[in-house]
Structure 1
């Protein structure tokens, strides 16, 4: 019964947001409450929802201050030289711009943090996309696809969870999967090429006056915000923040709060200017952070009612014994929908040990199951339960459902390529 309720809740939720009957934020709050009532959990809705909200609170606060920090860096002109360099290389050709976007997103994704990737990539490329008429949705799709592949890095989260859940080392799980990651990267570049060609066919190759594009938004309205004399200081501050994030010197939430405080004080010491800058980003920050907390209600009820456990057990127990020898491949395939419909914590700490235990009965090494569990991750970032993706669509001004409709098939393509590489190179047994 719980499994059926869980599957129905997910299906109805997806239908509502993809048909635009409800906004993602409203659906995240209303749908789980309705199904919790149907399941007889009325008296427990409050505690479950609060538990979910508490679990996402650090992420929501981190995103809030990440928006403010990178917003200050953008206003001060930190990314203008990067954009100028990209412009000189890609010209006005949508194909080169799309591929350049993919390369930039892949490189920035090395820090393992989707929020940072989106903030920098979108800030650098969105003005160019708008200038030549390329769809911002293409920019968002390339960024999320690149981040989805690079999400396998050990410091990105899922790999560390898999290692912890199965008590294995990086050499057991991550190192063997590197060739699959390379396959995923090549697919993302191929995807960018295809999307670029489609955009080139639609709008042609633009002629751009590079003297006017060398500094983004260097108009009379925003020129006073630029801080060219502080650019080295701002670069140093940004690099130090990224290094601290990678090395986990402090929790990411605290680092972004401190980074923002330093950035706004250095660049805009006047209190009136500080208030103006915060107000300028308040709209975007509010829409994104409110979505994060709405997702907390969804995950809290999904986990608190044990629907997520029932769904996982239903799937595992319905795998035919005859397919037991192919359990690694089955795990790789299941990892895409499982990580899409549930949080990484729920999948890697709750479901993965069950999969590994079931596979051991067929003589399959738990390390192979751990590696297989990572191969569906490109699909994960398009899940409505991933907070950073709301930041992405908010920055480009697009609808979450539109992003899913347009790029779920590409995300599945990335996962398929990674699985095929893993099978061909016997990273996982067939």
Structure 2
């Protein structure tokens, strides 16, 4: 009975999230609560389960609020603009240099973990150059997607926070284990940029300039002179925050609390300016944090009622024992297409928990399965038809449809996904 209710609960969550008729917050709170009451869970027991679930997500939700606002402010004051402008200037009219610059700009732009920001920095900056050089826009979107997926492994990125929520661990602790994979992913993005640049050059890109004017349209407004003077200090602050996260001597959310406080004091000294900046970026920060907190209710209920364990037993009886010890790798290799089809919340909060329990039944640690599924899925972000950033990116280029974007990018991004899972094995991050 528990197993059946658990599978129906997961199915209901996935279907409702796919249909997009309700907010993930509504789905993750109401559906598990109704399921718990239907199987006869008492109110005192429900209260205890919810409390236990919320304890597992509180640190990560606080991390999200402060980290997103911090990086949005750093973007506003031009910390990333100077690097982007120099990369564009260095690339000049060299096709391969342009594709490499695209990958690097996407990586830098996604330091704040916000998909819309990455798209709005990378594509408007590079698209006029691509048009001028005759490089296909599919290349631009593919490299942006790859860079975004790799950088989404940061602790304030949605996938890591969601996986950490399911595991009941700190997102920064999970990220520290994933750093070698992220470095490999960055190298893979640059390598892909070289490959695609070479292909475009062979196709004739750069041989005949499409626009005779040498002036490339700027993607951003001129930076306020006040922020230009403060730029070195803001760069030092950004590096210091990331450095403190890597050495892991303080709670990650406290690091961002201090970082945000200093950023506001340095750049917006008046109370009015500080309040306006916080309000400007609060929506994106609170939406993701609220989703994480809502997931805590789902995790608490599914774990407390025994649904996850019952579902795992059912799946364990179905999977052939010879394949059982490779459960995490099987789902790691299938992660990108699954992630494309079900979306982020459904993937992490619907599929991951029962698969983790199946892995445990075959002796695979939960974190091992979660990392394989996380690494494999991450670069599917901007080729999923369920992600708004995909449509935002398509809207910024001319005459490119979703099917053409997916058809071009899928093979390259899936190759990066597989290589990253294999790299996890080689580095000893994922264990056989």
TM-score (normalizing by structure 2):
0.65
Residues 34 and 249 (structure 1), Cα distance of their counterparts in 2 relative to 1, 3 Å cut: same
User: For 1:54 and 1:216, how far apart are their aligned partners in 2?
Assistant: 41
Deviates more, 1:252-261 or 1:271-280: 271-280
Residues 300 and 2 (structure 1), Cα distance of their counterparts in 2 relative to 1, 3 Å cut: same
Say whether 1:332 aligns with 2:329. Answer: yes
Q: Is the 8 A contact 1:331 1:355 kept in 2?
A: no
Report the alpha carbon displacement of residue 258 of structure 1 after superposing the two structures with TM.
0.4
Match of 2:172 in 1: none
Q: Is the 8 A contact 2:25 2:294 kept in 1?
A: yes
Q: Counterparts in 2 of 1:77-156, with a 5 A limit?
A: 77-88=78-89, 100-103=101-104, 116=111, 118-119=113-114, 123=117, 126-130=120-124, 132=127, 141-147=145-151
Say whether 1:6 aligns with 2:13. Answer: no
User: For 2:34 and 2:96, how far apart are their aligned partners in 1?
Assistant: 46
Q: Is the 8 A contact 1:3 1:310 kept in 2?
A: yes
Partner of 1:47, secondary structure, is helix
Gaps of 5+ in 2: 129-136, 170-176, 204-208, 340-345, 394-401
Match of 2:242 in 1: 242
Say whether 1:47 aligns with 2:48. Answer: yes
Q: Is the 8 A contact 1:117 1:147 kept in 2?
A: no
Match of 2:296 in 1: 296
Match of 2:221 in 1: 217
Report the alpha carbon displacement of residue 415 of structure 1 after superposing the two structures with TM.
4.6
Match of 2:251 in 1: 251
User: For 1:208 and 1:122, how far apart are their aligned partners in 2?
Assistant: 29
Say whether 1:377 aligns with 2:374. Answer: yes
User: For 2:296 and 2:424, how far apart are their aligned partners in 1?
Assistant: 34
Q: Is the 8 A contact 2:50 2:297 kept in 1?
A: yes
Report the alpha carbon displacement of residue 267 of structure 1 after superposing the two structures with TM.
1.4
Q: Counterparts in 2 of 1:67-82, with a 5 A limit?
A: 67-82=68-83
User: For 1:54 and 1:417, how far apart are their aligned partners in 2?
Assistant: 35
Q: Quote the RMSD (CA, aligned, Å).
A: 5.4
Partner of 2:326, secondary structure, is helix
Q: Is the 8 A contact 1:299 1:343 kept in 2?
A: no
Q: Is the 8 A contact 1:378 1:415 kept in 2?
A: yes
User: For 1:208 and 1:138, how far apart are their aligned partners in 2?
Assistant: 27
Residues 10 and 296 (structure 1), Cα distance of their counterparts in 2 relative to 1, 3 Å cut: same
Partner of 1:216, secondary structure, is coil
Describe the superposition over 1:31-90 as per-residue Cα deviations: whole angstroms up to 9, x where unpaired: 222322332225244433343233222212211111221222122211111121233356
Match of 1:18 in 2: 18
Residues 318 and 141 (structure 1), Cα distance of their counterparts in 2 relative to 1, 3 Å cut: same
Q: Is the 8 A contact 1:140 1:393 kept in 2?
A: no
Residues 71 and 373 (structure 1), Cα distance of their counterparts in 2 relative to 1, 3 Å cut: closer
Gaps of 5+ in 1: 110-114, 165-172, 358-365
Q: Is the 8 A contact 1:148 1:380 kept in 2?
A: no
Describe the superposition over 1:390-411 as per-residue Cα deviations: whole angstroms up to 9, x where unpaired: xx9689979xxx9xx9799987
Partner of 1:40, secondary structure, is coil
Report the alpha carbon displacement of residue 292 of structure 1 after superposing the two structures with TM.
2.4
Report the alpha carbon displacement of residue 21 of structure 1 after superposing the two structures with TM.
2.7
Q: Is the 8 A contact 1:48 1:300 kept in 2?
A: yes
Match of 1:363 in 2: none
Match of 1:278 in 2: 278
Match of 2:320 in 1: 320
